[in-house]
Amino acid sequence: MITFYEDCHPQVLRIHANLLLTFSILFAEGGEKIHQTLGRLVSSCTAFSSYFKLEKLILTNDVLAQYSNADDDEYLVMTYEFNRLFVGPTAPIASPYESVYLSPDHLVMGDQTLAVRKIYKQENLQVAGQAHEPDDFIATELEFAAYLLSRIMDAQASNNDIQIQRYKDLYQEFWAQHPSRWLGLFAQRVRQSTHHPVFLALSEFLDTLTTLNVD
């Protein structure tokens, strides 16, 4: 497990938060924007895998970097594969919603959706377009986790130990109860459902995210 300690350099938290946020953007923007979002993801993955000297992820990121310079035909293939896996038009093969993996009926809008909404409200946050996108969408959960890490960094910058601990506790609670419980299952389903190197690489990074924590 990779651990981020309370007194770690803010650069470490920044690298972690940027990785979460770029994954969030990738899923939020969708397959039609992958020609824009993949390059930004490569930058964050490079910083992360290089800083922690994770040889396996360095090699995996080389695959993402190669495809970030793909031609239009290959980007079209990636768009179709993104939509096939995560969007539809039929039921997505690797649904990007927590409830599908953790609720008894494996359907969207389960108890997990309301549980994450409650945590967002603790920070006076609400999902934009809530009526159209469940709160446990992968992009939203990862964005919120990145937000909490940014709040830890803000508190560190002002030497506010109370706020540091508050946001560490909230991050640990949220990550343990939500993303860490289903991202590995989601990544596994992606691996089982595609042969495209980009999406196999994405699943490797998502698996690694399940091992991250702030102690």
Quick: pLDDT tens for 52-70: 888 888 889 999 999 999 9
DSSP three-state, residue 135: coil
**Quick one: DSSP state of residue 137?**
B
- Token pair 């190669």 is found at 66
Task: Give the residue with greater pLDDT, 90 vs 103.
Answer: 103
Per mean pLDDT, which range of 7-21, 95-109, 145-159 is the poorest? 7-21
Pairwise CA distance, residues 60 & 79, whole Å: 20
Per-residue pLDDT band for 212 (boundaries 50, 70, 90) equals: low
The whole-number pLDDT of residue 131 equals 60
Query: 2-214: which CATH number, 3.50.50.60, 1.10.287.90, 1.10.340.30, 1.10.3480.10?
Result: 1.10.3480.10
Give residue limits of the domains in the chain: 2-214
Pairwise CA distance, residues 153 & 204, whole Å: 27
For the chain, what is the radius of gyration of the CA atoms?
17
The whole-number pLDDT of residue 127 equals 87
DSSP three-state, residue 132: coil
pTM for the model: 0.93
Is the separation of the CB atoms in 142 and 179 below 8 Å?
yes
Number of residues that this document lists for the chain: 215
Residue 63 neighbours by CB under 8 Å, 6+ apart: 197, 198, 200, 201
Is the separation of the CB atoms in 118 and 126 below 8 Å?
no
Pairwise CA distance, residues 58 & 156, whole Å: 30
